[in-house]
Amino acid sequence: MFYCDNCGYKSVKWLGKCPLCGGWENFVEEKEPGRDRIKIKEEKLPPKLLKDIKEADYQRIYTGIDGFDCILGGGLVKGEIILIGGEPGVGKSTLLLEVSSKLAAVGKTLYVSAEESSQQIGLRAKRLGSDFSNFYILGEDNLEEAANYIKDGKFKFVMIDSIQAVYSSCCEGSKGSISQIRGCADYLTHIAKSLGVVIFVVGHVTKEGAIAGPKLLEHIVDCVLYFEGETLSNYRILRAIKNRFGPTPDFAVFEMTSRGLKEVKKVTELFLPHKEQSLCGSCVICAIEGIRAFLIELQSLVGRANFSTVRRRSLGFDFNRFSLLIAIIEKRLKISLSSEDVFLNVAGGLKVNDPAADLGAIVAIVSSFGEKEVSLSDVFMAEIGLGGELRRINNVNLRLKEAGRAGFKRCFIPEGNLKEVDKSFNFKIEGFSSVKEVIEKVLR
């Protein structure tokens, strides 16, 4: 079997040009690493009836960090392997140290660093001020040597920093190559499942924002987390992209301080506008990611185009959906934007994929175009169909509960959701069947 050293594409014969990535002279022969490179004792168990499996066999392990446990689906699972990706300097190693300090109280924890020395890790750990009495550091980049320590030390939790920096002597290629990353990830998974060890693996990202290495890496592991954050901001967002043992997508917010990462529990207050006067082109929506509802501000700017080609830009909002909403505005609301530059921004650096953000986006764009203010006490939540109709959204009571907790006085929702609204809410909830009705009500 041959594979492309650039993208991981496999072929039964050598190819000069890769049909997937278009690279030349990248195909090398694949040699499967032997399973016997380290003798790991595996307990052979016969098939077991599902009803005979005890609750203790799949009990969750809590890290002690509520937001981290939440995006994992309620805690760690024995034998789980978790991949954490992020740009250099975003705080991946700091996050692992924070988690390690909590897990050390549960069982023996090993931090394998292939990029930094034990002394460097120790200095950073002391700055965090946590208890590391049951926490071990190993400066090693050879996976076979690290596996020996994992087996002999009977560790319950292992951190590998990073998958691009470790190597296996049983795999061809240099550190960070496709063959090395795939071979090391496969072997780490074998260790986790065989010994029942929870393994965290750090992965670097490419300039496109994807985890470096073959896509197979994300398929091998049980959970994929992305750690995001702006260089000049103290806030970091941890997203669950894949999770075999919990809901996706989901996220948690942390603040980078001099004492390490601190979880932000009241996410809504972080992303809501802190202003006393209404502005044109600004409104609040309620979106859901995973099992969490949060309020966030949408901002739009519409102005006369100075060039023959108009500009359309969206930050944190899907561009294809953004273009579709502009078409709905022109067709259903009879507002011509053909000579206008239109910009849409999700405040706070978040990315919103919830279709319920459609109504807020249209309100913000039309508000900016007509230079009419939207009340700060209003919140919008509805999906917009191509006919301009408001379509039903999921978890409407969860959204309304979050809006009420934040002190909003009026919510605009689809008419089809009115029947399922809880009667206990003490603020005004209005249902509409079309986006035209909402615009006439809000921006009259």
pLDDT at 279 over 70: yes
Query: Quick one: which of 270, 268, 296 has its CA closest to 283?
Result: 296
Q: What is the predicted pLDDT for the residue at 24?
A: 86
**Residue 388: CB partners within 8 Å, gap ≥ 6?**
328, 331, 332, 333, 434, 435, 436
The distance of Cα 45 from the centroid of its chain, to the nearest Å, equals: 36
**Residue 398 carries which side chain, given as an amino acid letter?**
L
pLDDT at 38 over 50: no
pLDDT at 112 over 80: yes
Q: What is the mean pLDDT of residues 308-326?
A: 95
Burial of residue 400 (CB within 10 Å: 0-12, 13-18, 19+) is: buried
pLDDT, tens only, 235-262: 888 989 899 988 887 888 898 888 888 8
Q: What is the predicted pLDDT for the residue at 346?
A: 93
Q: What is the predicted pLDDT for the residue at 211?
A: 65
Please tell me the pTM assigned to this model. 0.78
Q: Tell me if 277 sits within 8 A of 302, measured CB to CB.
A: no
Q: What is the predicted pLDDT for the residue at 208?
A: 60
- Interatomic CA distance for residues 330 and 349, integer angstroms: 28
- Interatomic CA distance for residues 266 and 270, integer angstroms: 7
> pLDDT > 70: what percent of the chain?
91
Greatest Cα pair distance in the chain: 75
**Residue 190 carries which side chain, given as an amino acid letter?**
H
Query: For residue 50, what is the DSSP state?
Result: G
pLDDT at 42 over 60: no
pLDDT at 322 over 90: yes
**Residue 166: CB partners within 8 Å, gap ≥ 6?**
112, 114, 141, 142, 143, 146, 160, 175, 184
Query: Given pLDDT bands bounded at 50, 70 and 90, which one contains residue 413?
Result: very high
> pLDDT > 90: what percent of the chain?
46
Q: What is the predicted pLDDT for the residue at 21?
A: 80
What is the distance in angstroms between the CA of the first residue and the CA of the last residue of the chain?
67
Q: Tell me if 234 sits within 8 A of 256, measured CB to CB.
A: yes
pLDDT, tens only, 220-235: 899 999 998 876 678 8
Strands 250-257 and 292-304 turn out to be: unpaired
Neighbour tally for 425: CB within 10 Å: 14
Domains in the chain (CATH in brackets) are 1-30 (no CATH), 60-265 (3.40.50.300), 270-442 (3.30.230.10)
**Residue 139: CB partners within 8 Å, gap ≥ 6?**
113, 114, 116, 117, 118, 121
Query: Given pLDDT bands bounded at 50, 70 and 90, which one contains residue 7?
Result: confident
Q: What is the predicted pLDDT for the residue at 36?
A: 45
Q: Tell me if 380 sits within 8 A of 348, measured CB to CB.
A: no
How many residues appear in the chain? 444
pLDDT, tens only, 145-160: 999 999 888 899 999 9
**Residue 3 carries which side chain, given as an amino acid letter?**
Y
Strands 235-243 and 223-228 turn out to be: antiparallel
- 85's tokens: 């990706």
Q: What is the predicted pLDDT for the residue at 109?
A: 94
